[in-house]
Amino acid sequence: MSNLLSEQTTEKNDWACWCGYKTLSPYSKEYLVCKSCGTLVTTAPVNSANFKVTKDAGELYDKDYWLRRQQEKYGLPPIDRRARLDLPERCVHWLNLLLKRRLPPARILEIGCAHGGYVALLRWAGYEATGTEMSPAIVQFAKETFDVPILAGRIEELPFEKGAFDAIVLNDVIEHLPDPLSTLEHCARLLAPDGLFMIQTPEYKEHLNYDDILHTSDKFNEHMQGKSDEHLYLFSRRSVSQLFSRLGCEVTVFENPVFSYDLFFTASRSALPDNSKEQITAALAAQPTGRLVQALLDKAAESTDRGWAIQRLETALAAKK
């Protein structure tokens, strides 16, 4: 098998899955696979102390991560440009999914909010929304850019009270956590009894081996190759269901992600509501900024419908050739 480690099972105390299972099998040069729960586990050294920002310089998630590293290493737009690009695409998509499950007013926390654009959109929609980020410099950037409440630091160290939130959002965050079970247990305590998690993370599809990913140029490989020092755990549908079940969130509903290589789901302790378009429109119409948000959602829906129509037409034309 190309580019793979030996097929021999690896059993070392250096490596263990978040679920506690230590007998991990080779998957790629940078990842092992836990057959017990279905998670890819990094082979990179993991030191929890490296996942804090204290000086905002020379640390993994310091301001340089956002201002230089993501652009130079991964070719991503700089954070000031992303603050514009994300709003009409990713942020609107996430808001649509949240409105389906929890109407404003409600208390929302976004952990790892980056530029703060989604926190701003939530507040315009009528939610009482707050964000967190690791780098004080990026927190300041978010405050100045969107005038939103953002706190700097690890969620475990921030002064939030038990049951303070109706929903906690983690978009592209859980794959970065050195101890996801412990961190998410803390987050679960911050949720109200009927609260919910909304999560986006790259999806490890268990039926694909690494050769399959290489041969099909699957974009999921971009979340593996060269990112094993950041993406410590890459989850499958089975593994996130097990993870959130341990938190007491037995209800896991998978939603359509923005991009096909991602996994998006809602997790809750109880049955999830399914709010109608009429209920959502009424909730947004309760305040002027909510009406502006409704216009953004309408335009996004129009673009999505047009995109699907074009794709169907192209498929039909190709079939006739």
pLDDT at 307 over 70: no
Task: Please provide the size of the chain in residues.
Answer: 321
pLDDT at 319 over 90: no
**Weakest-pLDDT range from 3-17, 60-74, 132-146, 267-281:** 3-17
Other beta carbons within 10 Å of 259? 13
Q: Which fold has domain 48-277?
A: Rossmann fold (3.40.50)
> How confident is the model at residue 151, as a pLDDT?
98
Separation between Cα atoms, residue 227 and residue 240, nearest integer Å: 20
Closest CA to 167 of 83, 95, 257: 95
b/e map of 48-68 (b: 16 or more CB within 10 Å)?
eeebebeebeebebbbbbbbe
Average pLDDT over residues 84-94: 94
Other beta carbons within 10 Å of 247? 17
Separation between Cα atoms, residue 90 and residue 46, nearest integer Å: 30
Average pLDDT over residues 219-236: 95
* Residue 301 or 161, more confident: 161
Share of the chain above pLDDT 90, in %: 83
Q: Report the range out of 2-16, 36-50, 283-297 with the highest average pLDDT.
A: 283-297
What's the order of all strands across the beta sheet hosting 39-42?
10-11, 23-26, 31-34, 39-42, 233-235
> How confident is the model at residue 47, as a pLDDT?
79
Question: 165-171 and 107-111: which strand pairing?
Answer: parallel
* Residue 6 or 210, more confident: 210
The H-or-E segment that residue 74 falls in is helix 70-74
- pTM assigned to the model: 0.91
Rounded to 5 degrees, φ, ψ at 152 are -95, 135
> How confident is the model at residue 195, as a pLDDT?
98
pLDDT at 161 over 50: yes
> How confident is the model at residue 205, as a pLDDT?
97
Separation between Cα atoms, residue 51 and residue 54, nearest integer Å: 10
Closest CA to 61 of 130, 121, 134: 134
